[in-house]
Amino acid sequence: MRSRLADVIKEVKGANLLADKGYFSNEDIKACEDDGYQSYIPEKGCPMEGKGFYGKPEFIYNEYNNTYTCPAGQILQKYQNKKKDCKTYWIYKSPEACVNCSRKDKCTNSKSRSIQRWEHEHVLENVRERMKAKPNIMKRRSAIVEHPFGTIKRHILTGGYNMIGIESAQAETFLAQLTYNLNRVLNIVNFSEIMSFLKGRKSFWQKHVQNHLLMSSYINTKAIKMLIRQKNQVNSLIILV
């Protein structure tokens, strides 16, 4: 099934995907990569690491012979396949090697340790390598993205949501985003220029303003984006969708 994230980013041409670990999803990342977008998303923590054991990154994949090498230098062979949530995984383990392993107490409480590999794991490995190559990229994301979220939360939706239901809350979110975008635009283009732009597009004004469709942030910010582009300042505009 095609992911929602992949559909959203498709609206932004020529961009790469930078998101926090909450968006690290096999299907989302593969869909975006298949569409030509490079993903920069930190991986969620491994449950084994939380227990004080070796995490999956400690096990080195050997592409040539399709095996894993564990921290103790033992080879984990492909053991079996399994399907989970419509995805195919390969299981790698070496029960015999784990029996007398001197590092077993740092690896597992079970009889043996196994590693699970998704059939498209190479896609995720590419993302991991990109993240290693740009260790400060998440700081850059925070500097850009967290400010709009904080402004909307503290200064626009100060009392939280007033409506009940997903559709109503989504409408409030669209209006909050539109408010933020308009405030952002007014720091770049003065109000009279915006009004002149809209008046020059009477059909747009009648259709989207007089019919009370302001809650559609995408439609309205698209028009504003056209205005900013005319002033060669499109890169200064933050569009939230």
Whether 240 has a pLDDT exceeding 50, the answer reads no
Structure tokens at 106: 């740092």
Mean pLDDT of the 203-213 span: 49
Q: Would you give the DSSP letter of residue 131?
A: H
Whether 226 has a pLDDT exceeding 70, the answer reads no
Cβ-based neighbour number of residue 173 at 10 Å: 16
CB 3 within 8 A of CB 28: yes
Q: What's the rounded Cα separation, in Å, for the pair 4 and 31?
A: 10
Structure confidence at residue 13 (pLDDT): 66
Q: What is the pTM of this model?
A: 0.63
At residue 151, what is the residue type?
Answer: T
Where is average pLDDT lowest: 114-128, 164-178, 194-208? 194-208
Structure tokens at 51: 């227990």
Listed residue (116, 53, 115, 55) closest to 85, CA to CA: 116
Write down the mean pLDDT value for the chain.
Answer: 78
Q: What's the rounded Cα separation, in Å, for the pair 208 and 18?
A: 31
60 or 209: which leads in pLDDT: 60
Phi-psi region of 77 (alpha: psi -120 to 50; beta: other; left: phi over 0): beta
Structure confidence at residue 39 (pLDDT): 86
133 or 230: which leads in pLDDT: 133
CB 124 within 8 A of CB 118: yes
Mean pLDDT of the 107-122 span: 92
Cβ-based neighbour number of residue 216 at 10 Å: 14
When pLDDT is cut at 50, 70 and 90, the band that residue 107 belongs to is very high
Helix (H, G, I), strand (E, B) or coil at 60: strand
Structure confidence at residue 233 (pLDDT): 39
∠ CA 134-140-146 to the nearest 5 degrees?
140
Mean pLDDT of the 211-230 span: 45
Q: Would you give the DSSP letter of residue 190?
A: -
CB 227 within 8 A of CB 194: yes
Q: What is the pLDDT of residues 3-47, one digit of tens each?
A: 566 666 766 666 778 888 888 888 888 988 888 888 888 888 776
Structure confidence at residue 28 (pLDDT): 86
Could you tell me what percent of the chain has a pLDDT over 70?
74
Return phi, psi of residue 80, to 5°. Answer: -165, 170
Structure confidence at residue 41 (pLDDT): 87
* Sign of the dihedral defined by the CA atoms of residues 137, 139, 140, 142, in that order: positive
64-76 b/e (C-beta count within 10 Å ≥ 16 → b) = eeebbebeeeeeb
Q: What is the pLDDT of residues 51-88, one digit of tens each?
A: 788 988 899 999 999 999 999 999 999 988 888 888 89
Q: What's the rounded Cα separation, in Å, for the pair 61 and 63?
A: 6
